């Protein structure tokens, strides 16, 4: 049965327009994913953007006393027990132990 009215696809070939749209949509999404994974440059050191994102969230800090690897959230060094962070006596927020002034309430820490 053929469509005799002038509609979206002009008769029997209406499905070609939908098929073309779906193919272009899938190709566009595939191309965007391909570009997201393979974009490399001097800022990413040859790694993909996704890999660089997950590796950049890791901290590369060392303890000021024993030079052991520590993470951003550590309050004490697990190797030498050096106190990395302390609470401000005025506002109670966590501050680094080597700071001289609390950046939140401007209280002298030393």
Domain that holds residue 49: 44-110
Residue 59 lies in a domain: yes
Under DSSP, is residue 68 helix (H, G, I), strand (E, B) or coil?
coil
Residue 1 forms part of a structural domain: no
pTM here is 0.43
Helix (H, G, I), strand (E, B) or coil at 33: helix
Is 71 a member of any domain?
A: yes
Residue 16 in domain:
no
The string of pLDDT tens digits covering residues 66-79 is 988 888 888 899 99
- Band (97; pLDDT cuts 50, 70, 90): confident
- Asked if the structure places residue 48 within a domain, the reply is yes
Look at residue 42 and tell me whether its pLDDT is greater than 50.
no
Phi and psi angles of residue 81, each rounded to the nearest 5 degrees, phi first: 70, 25
């Amino acid at each position: 049965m053929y469509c005799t009215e002038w509609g979206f696809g002009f008769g029997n070939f209406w499905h070609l327009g939908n098929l073309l749209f779906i193919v272009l949509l899938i190709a566009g999404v595939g191309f965007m994913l391909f570009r997201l994974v393979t974009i490399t440059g001097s800022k990413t050191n040859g790694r993909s953007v996704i890999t660089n994102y997950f590796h950049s969230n890791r901290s590369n800090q060392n303890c000021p006393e024993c030079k052991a690897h520590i993470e951003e959230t550590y309050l004490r060094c697990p190797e030498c027990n050096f106190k990395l962070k302390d609470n401000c006596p005025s506002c109670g927020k966590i501050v680094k132990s080597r700071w001289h002034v609390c950046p939140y309430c401007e209280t002298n820490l030393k």
